[in-house]
Amino acid sequence: MTELDGLKDKNDVKILILFLLKNINYPLTITNISDILIRYGQANYFDIAEGLEELVIKMFVEKIENEHKVTHYHPTGQGLKSVEQLYSMLPSSVREKTMRSALKTLASIKRDSQIISDTQKTDYGYLVNCQIKDEQFDIFKFSLFVPNEIQAKIVQKNFKDNPEYIYKALIEIITKEDENN
């Protein structure tokens, strides 16, 4: 296997999916799984989708739908036992790249879950709500009125792309001491 052509054996792809789900211990969608395994050329999308479906059918992996109707995948007891016996068949470089890719994806998932923005249409324009939160608190939250949808989308995009910069700039401005006092 070269870095560019990835795993060719479909059973290896299934073992890699189980290895990922076991070691990441976080609910992943098919998009998350694909992003992780495609990043370093470990497998192609079609083999991943086919392998995941076969793992579900054979009850090595279960589908769980959350309250937002998003499907996540988790290994079953049978899947965990199987991967424990078979993971060593995968080259260590494949396992390492998979875990490195998974950590990058998880960091992105966590960041996206902490940076939230939405838009509400009003009678006079749009209200853009922006928020940075952690597990317990809203760290930063504001609403901004804009006259049209284009501006609302720009505000949302800029907030999502630069939340740390916006937070830092606002904190710097509002905590700056008055030089006249």
12 CB-near residues (< 8 Å, 6+ apart): 89, 90
1 pLDDT higher than 50: no
Residue 21's pLDDT band (cuts 50, 70, 90): very high
Confidence (pLDDT) at 180: 65
Lowest pLDDT segment from 99-103, 133-137, 146-150: 133-137
110 pLDDT higher than 60: yes
5 pLDDT higher than 60: no
Taking the C-alpha atoms of residue 87 and residue 90, their distance in angstroms, rounded to an integer, is 6
Q: At what angle do helices 30-39 and 10-24 cross, to 10 degrees?
A: 110
Cβ-contact 42, 92 below 8 angstroms = no
Taking the C-alpha atoms of residue 156 and residue 162, their distance in angstroms, rounded to an integer, is 10
Confidence (pLDDT) at 176: 83
Cβ-contact 36, 23 below 8 angstroms = no
Taking the C-alpha atoms of residue 117 and residue 140, their distance in angstroms, rounded to an integer, is 12
Lowest pLDDT segment from 8-12, 96-100, 126-130: 8-12
Lowest pLDDT segment from 21-25, 142-146, 166-170, 174-178: 174-178
Burial grade of 92 (CB within 10 A; 0-12, 13-18, 19 or more)? exposed
Percent of the chain beyond pLDDT 90?
Answer: 72
Taking the C-alpha atoms of residue 41 and residue 4, their distance in angstroms, rounded to an integer, is 6
Residue 181's pLDDT band (cuts 50, 70, 90): low
Mean pLDDT of 132-141: 85
pLDDT tens-digit map of 33-75 = 999 999 999 999 999 999 999 999 999 999 999 887 889 999 9
> For tokens 């990043």, what's the residue?
39
Confidence (pLDDT) at 86: 95
Lowest pLDDT segment from 6-10, 93-97, 117-121, 145-149: 6-10
Burial grade of 14 (CB within 10 A; 0-12, 13-18, 19 or more)? buried
Taking the C-alpha atoms of residue 49 and residue 52, their distance in angstroms, rounded to an integer, is 5
- Domains of the chain, first to last: 10-113 (1.10.10.10), 122-175 (no CATH)
